[in-house]
Chain A
Amino acid sequence: MTDPTLPAQLADIRDEFLELEVRERLQLLLEFSNELPELPERYSEHPDLFEQVVECQSPVFIFVEVDDDDRVHLFATAPREAPTTRGFASILAQGLDGLSVDEVLGVPADFPLTIGLTEAVSPLRIRGMTALLGRAQRQVRERVSV
């Protein structure tokens, strides 16, 4: 699958999933889940900045930062008891990190449907990740329009 608009680091994550058998994809999602970074200190004291992704089954909150070089960073927090949601957030936090504003806004809305997880976790659950991406992109638009 080639998609000229998909940044390389997201394409790498997608390919990493697609190379695996369906059952192993769940294990990889768990690895992503465990890798979701703690919030940096400047944000961990500011839960008010974070937006809840209400489409997800478990409480997950995100905040998008656009730094001085116009690079995007996604921060997310979700409970350990919600490993699937944490995994979704971690994929996007890693996959979007350091991209330019235009690159993030150019990520196709159906990216979550293309990484081979639909079968492994079900289409319904994937909706949570689609919502995460949509909200992250909206936050990016808000940051740059200020």
Chain B
Amino acid sequence: MTIATDDASKFSEYAHPERLVSTGWLADHLGDAGLVVVESDEDVLLYETGHIPGAVKIDWHTDLNDPVQRDYVDGAGFAKLLSEKGISRESTVVIYGDKNNWWAAYALWVFTLFGHEDVRLLDGGRDLWIAEGRELTTDPPHPTPADYPTVERDDTTVRAFKEDVLAHFGHPLIDVRSPEEYSGERTHMPAYPDEGALRGGHIPSAASVPWARAAAPDATFKSRDELDAIYLDDAGLTAGDDVIAYCRIGERSSHTWFVLTHLLGFENVRNYDGSWTEWGSAVRVPIATGSEPGEAPTPRS
């Protein structure tokens, strides 16, 4: 960590408080050498309408996804992107975004695939920054290009593929989609585009914990006690569990991955980014419908 962490008392109750900064902390540290602020939103133009002074934009569709293969950019692509944004391997990166930091958490998860060490989320994200009347600008930043090294993406530690999920049966799965998507009434979120899945339902044995339950009304993360009640008491997770989270394309479950890993301290959480758009259409994989999780099938390896 190159820049001091935010020692706000709220964060100290989390497993990894160094992964969050408050809006006040960020306002005080804007312009610090070694700090790069990144905005990542659902809406590709929202950044252009006004952003935190000096913040650069990283878009999940156009920057982080590979345009040809359904996958993330490779090591060379990530190095090129981050170098252009003025981010070096040693930079402290603070990511924020709209919608309870949904896409910001996704970007943070992708940074984690490449092992970027010091990457944090702005608690409350874009919404809280604006609600507090803090400064926005439409002036584009002019970052000095950095020299980010080419690092091979690690697809084994925090990422799960379909085969990993099939071998995982018997261990906890968390489905973070809406109750209607979980039960199979619909294959996509209300009011969102249908990214396509042949069948509706969920992966057998997965517990339903819609991702936004982790967020407070002001878009900050809920307290440790509240999160423990949701994920340990309600969803039945136990410390030390090996967990896979999924949603529809892996973005909402990045948010839950962040909560489980960095706020609650689970050490073996993977995000299945193929998620329902793959599972719901894949040949020879079982699904369950209705509001009950269903029995875990025999694991396949």
Contact = CB atoms under 8 A, between A and B. Distances in A.
B190 A81 contact: no
Contacts of A57: 42-43, 191-193
| Interface class of chain B by DSSP | loop
A23 to B, nearest CB: 10
Q: What is the interface residue range for chain A against chain B?
A: 20 to 34
Given A120-B62, A122-B62, A124-B61, A33 B193 contact: no
Interface in B36-76: 42-46, 48-49, 61-62, 65, 67
B48 A81 contact: no
Contact of B43 (A59, A82, A124, A131): A82
A139 interface: no
B61 A125 contact: yes
Interface residues of B, number: 18
B193 A26 contact: no
B43 A81 contact: yes
Interface string A13-36: 000000000000011011001000
Interface stretch (A66-74, A83-91, A95-103): A83-91
A83 B195 contact: no
A130 to B, nearest CB: 9
Contacts of A27: 48
Interface of A: 26-27, 29-30, 33, 52, 54-59, 80-85, 87, 119-122, 124-125, 127-128, 131
Q: Which 6 A-B pairs have the closest CB atoms?
A: A122-B61, A83-B45, A84-B45, A127-B193, A121-B44, A84-B43
5 contacts: A26-B45, A30-B49, A55-B193, A57-B193, A81-B46
Given A26-B44, A52-B191, 14 more contacts: A26-B48, A54-B190, A55-B192, A56-B193, A57-B191, A57-B193, A81-B43, A82-B43, A83-B43, A84-B45, A84-B46, A119-B67, A120-B44, A127-B193
